[in-house]
Amino acid sequence: MSRTEPRAALHPRPVLAKGPYRPEPEATSGERVIPGIPVSEGVAIGPVFGASEPNAEIAPRRIAAVEVEAEIGRLEAAVLQSRRQLGKLRARLVVLPEEAQSEIAPLIDAYVRMIGPSRLTRGIRRRIAEGLQSAETAVVGECEAIAGQIIAASPDQMGEEDRASRDRRAEEVREIGRRLVRNLTRQPFRSFAHLPPGAVLVSEALRPADAALIDPSRLAGVAADEGGPDGHTAIMLRALGVPAVLGAIGLSQAARSGDVAVVDGAAGRVVLNPTEETLAGARRQVAAFARARQKLARLRRLPAATEDGQVIELQANLEIPAELPLIAQAGAVGIGLLRSEFLFMNRETIPDETAQAETYRAVIEAMEGDPVTIRVLDWGGEKEIDALVSAGLVPELSDTNPALSLRGIRLLLRRPELFEAQLAAILRAGVAGPVRVLLPMVTCVAEVRAARETFERVVRRLRRRNERLPDPLPAIGIMVETPGAALSADALALEADFFAIGTNDLAMYTLAVDRSESSVAHLYDPLHPAVLRLVQFATEAALRLRKPVSVCGEMASNPKLTPLLLGLGLRSFSMNASAVPRVKQAVRGLATDSCARFARRVMEQSDPERIGELVAEFGTAG
């Protein structure tokens, strides 16, 4: 039972007007440099758009008595998630200077206290159980009531300072309410609807699904407290060509909407309120970057061939259709990795077979005969897909270990209806041009066999339906992105038609380092000999059986690593479109025999740091 009531908001002021609450009067002043992880090159200068302010508007809703238990359960989950988020924020503060810590930590502690056993949470529960209000309604109602009491209880005659402190306490209650509502409604932490053109987006955390909503033409740069170098958010930002710094701890608390910020995506730092001198330097960098990009663009029509005439395949990774024009501009020859999960994000329902087929067909047609490798759905990792949760197909990411549970092919084999619809869509779209199917997160031969059986079943079904099918049928390859797959590459090469080496996950799983976690970013090193040995083993296994093998992880987009990868025998790479010209330039200046000698030297090393030095030296020598 529900009844319509006027919409309520936790805060009357316009939503998304500014970042998280900080005492009002004092504007940030003086240059402040916040270091972070460089994830997408280029320099951006613009006003801060603090994206932490949620849209906390909700329609008040009544519930039936039988729903009380479920509603309390939702509240508990939202409280738990809020506590996790705040705990994460708090833990990160240790790397900040003491002064900054003592500014931010008490605020986070106050939030944590409020969602502990507190007057606030007791009041919310009472509103649900006795007032039969939905959890969101109860949160908004209770927070507004407490904030109102704080304001009302203060004496009429009070000084400026007391008034500011009173307003701050009331605002803290509203802020924690907004966090709870966000977690209850599963709203992303931000909306980009009010993003002013040329702004620098500053956020506590940016999910891949949020990054997929960014319009690069409207945005100067992005910076966030959380995130790692090769997480999917970083990958999306690179793909969109937006200068970005992640893992800039303390940034979202330090920045205020309207502050001027410089995001240096090469050096990995954010400067708030830059001095005139810093600004002038940043402007010079912006101009230099634009010139370098223009120069690289001239390579577009030149072949990607080494000095000794070996033609190297340079393809693009595609995350969202908005990148399609960039692929043609970059001179990539086809798509080596279409991450299809982005088709399933930011929507309420799962796209059906026909909707998927139309999207794939549009991409294939846009490639005008160049091959397209479509990776089937890779749910898991940090890729949240609400539509799958709503359909009851997967648990909430926070209720599972998303890196080690039903990720990738495991989910598809468990949910054949999902897999079959996607395979059917690819097959139908495949009449428009050359297409291949790529299986994510494979760890054993049985998975490839089972996937092939499903594929053949779908082919038979489509034939019965008299659908036109591609001839020949698409090849079925696998991502080699777990140590298990890499070490069984000789067996897997007998089953799979091709390999795509996913160095992002391969590094993560080999080194046990979360690729999107800033606190362990310094340990995430694809040049670790363990990772390189797995790449080598998998490459050689494929080459022995004459199976095509490519690298589609972020290693492929780093021109400094091109000599090493060529030296290991690789001849095909797929990367974010904007990296193609740089890698092509590197390829054109290399000879494969000297790369092979260099790779042999590298593979003798046991120290990742030494390998890093050798790579840097080769880069300068070459």
User: For binding to ligand PEP (CB under 6 A), which residues are involved?
Assistant: 235, 337, 339, 378, 481, 502-505, 552-553
32-35: strand order across its sheet: 32-35, 269-272, 260-264, 43-50, 199-203, 219-224, 244-246, 37-40
Identify the residue among 41, 204, 319, 481 touching Mg ion (CB under 5 A): 481
Q: Are 221 and 265 in contact (CB under 8 A)?
A: yes
Residue with CB nearest ligand PEP?
502
Least gap, CB of 505 to ligand PEP (angstroms) = 3
Site for Mg ion in 75-114 (CB under 5 A): none
Which one of the spans 99-107, 142-150, 418-426, 502-510 is the region binding Mg ion (CB under 5 A)?
Answer: 502-510
Q: Say whether 143 is catalytic.
A: no
Which one of the spans 152-160, 305-313, 384-392, 477-485 is the region binding Mg ion (CB under 5 A)?
Answer: 477-485
| Region of residue 235 (left: phi > 0; alpha: psi -120 to 50; beta: else) | alpha
Least gap, CB of 441 to Mg ion (angstroms) = 7
Least gap, CB of 366 to ligand PEP (angstroms) = 21
Identify the residue among 60, 228, 247, 502 touching Mg ion (CB under 5 A): 502
Binding of residue 175 to Mg ion (CB under 5 A): no
3-state secondary structure 291-345: HHHHHHHCCCCCCCECCCCCECEEEEEECCHHHHHHHHHHCCCCEEEEECHHHHC
Q: How far apart are CA 310 and CA 465, in angstroms?
A: 44
Binding of residue 230 to Mg ion (CB under 5 A): no
Q: Tokens standing for 98?
A: 């003491």
Q: How far apart are CA 101 and CA 538, in angstroms?
A: 46
Q: Which amino acid is it at 517?
A: E
Q: Which is nearer to ligand PEP, 128 or 479 (CB)?
A: 479
Binding of residue 505 to Mg ion (CB under 5 A): yes
Angle at alpha carbon of residue 519, lines to 517 and 523, rounded to 5°: 85
Q: Which is nearer to Mg ion, 264 or 481 (CB)?
A: 481
Q: How far apart are CA 588 and CA 305, in angstroms?
A: 6
Q: How far apart are CA 499 and CA 538, in angstroms?
A: 8
Q: How far apart are CA 81 and CA 77, in angstroms?
A: 6
Instruction: Name the active-site residue from 11, 143, 232, 595.
Output: 232
Q: Which is nearer to ligand PEP, 38 or 229 (CB)?
A: 229
Select from ligand PEP, Mg ion, none the partner in contact with residue 503, using the beta carbon and a kind-dependent cut-off of 5 to 8 Å: ligand PEP
Least gap, CB of 232 to Mg ion (angstroms) = 9
Least gap, CB of 497 to Mg ion (angstroms) = 19
Q: Say whether 595 is catalytic.
A: no
Q: Is 39 helix (H, G, I), strand (E, B) or coil?
A: strand
Q: What are phi and psi of 450, to 5 degrees?
A: -65, -40
Instruction: Name the active-site residue from 11, 528, 552, 595.
Output: 552
Which one of the spans 274-282, 386-394, 459-467, 496-504 is the region binding Mg ion (CB under 5 A)?
Answer: 496-504
Please give the positions annotated as active site: 232, 552
Question: Which residues in this chain contact Mg ion in the complex, by CB under 5 A?
Answer: 481, 502, 505
